[in-house]
A = this chain, B = another copy of it.
Amino acid sequence: MGVDKKQERKKVLEAFTRQGILDAAIGLLTRDGIQGLTMDRVAMEAGVAKGTLYVYFKNKEEILDATLDASFDPLIRELSVLLDDDRAPDRKLADFSLCHLRFFDEHGDLIRVLFFDRERMHSEKNHYTDSRYRTFVKRVADVLDEGGRQGLFVPLDSMKVAAMFIEANMGMIMQRIHDGISGDVEKDARQITDIFMEGLRQKKK
C-alpha cells in the first residue's frame, strides 16, 4: 500500500512536471512563434533543467506534437461533442462555426501556431498531425452526408465541401484577428452559416 501511494504520488508529480513543460512550450510558441521555441527556453520557462526535458520527451519533435495536441485539445473535444450529438446537420454546422470563432477569440494567439501546424501537416515527417486534421474533415463530411441523406443539402462531394467549410471558418477567423477581433462572434458565425446555407445570391421576390 505504501508502495502504491508512493507510486501514485510519483505519477502525479510526473504529470505535473510534464504539464509544466507543455505550458512553457505553449507560452513560448504563442509569444515568439516557432522560431522562439528552443529547448533552452522551454527549460527555463518551465523552471526545469534542460536535461529534464529529455526525461519526459524523446526530443523536440515530441514536445511540439504534445504541445499542439494540448493546445487544440479543448477545441477538438468541444467540436467533437458538437458534431456527434443528434441535432440537425445544419444546426451542427452553425454551432461548429460559432464554437470555432469563439475558440480563437479566446486563444487568438494560437492561430500562428495553427498555421505552423498546417505547414507541418503537409510535411512528410508529420503524418500524425495531418491525420488529426483529416479526421476532422471527415467528421464534418459525415455531417454533410447526413444532411444529404435527410434531403437537407444538395448532393455534393462531402470531403471537399467539408474542407471548404473548415477553411472558410479559418478565413473568417483570420479576418477577425486582423481587424482586432471586431464585431460580435454570433453575427460573424451566422454570416458563415448563412452563406453556406443560402448562398450569396439575392433572392428575387
Contacts and interface: CB of A to CB of B under 8 A. Distances in A.
A195 B174 CA distance: 21
A122 B112 contact: yes
A167 B174 contact: yes
Q: Which of A122, A176, A196, A202 has the most CB of B within 10 A?
A: A122
Contact of A175 (B111, B137, B168): B137
A113 to B, nearest CB: 9
Interface residues on A, range: 35 or more
Q: How often does this chain occur in the complex, in copies? A: 4
Q: Which of A134, A179, A199 has the most CB of B within 10 A?
A: A199
Interface of A: 33-34, 90, 111-112, 115-116, 118-119, 121-123, 134, 137, 144, 147, 151-154, 156-157, 159-172, 174-179, 183, 188, 191-192, 194-202
21 contacts: A33-B123, A115-B119, A115-B122, A118-B118, A134-B178, A144-B200, A152-B202, A153-B201, A154-B194, A154-B202, A156-B195, A156-B200, A157-B191, A159-B175, A164-B171, A164-B175, A166-B171, A167-B171, A168-B168, A198-B198, A198-B201
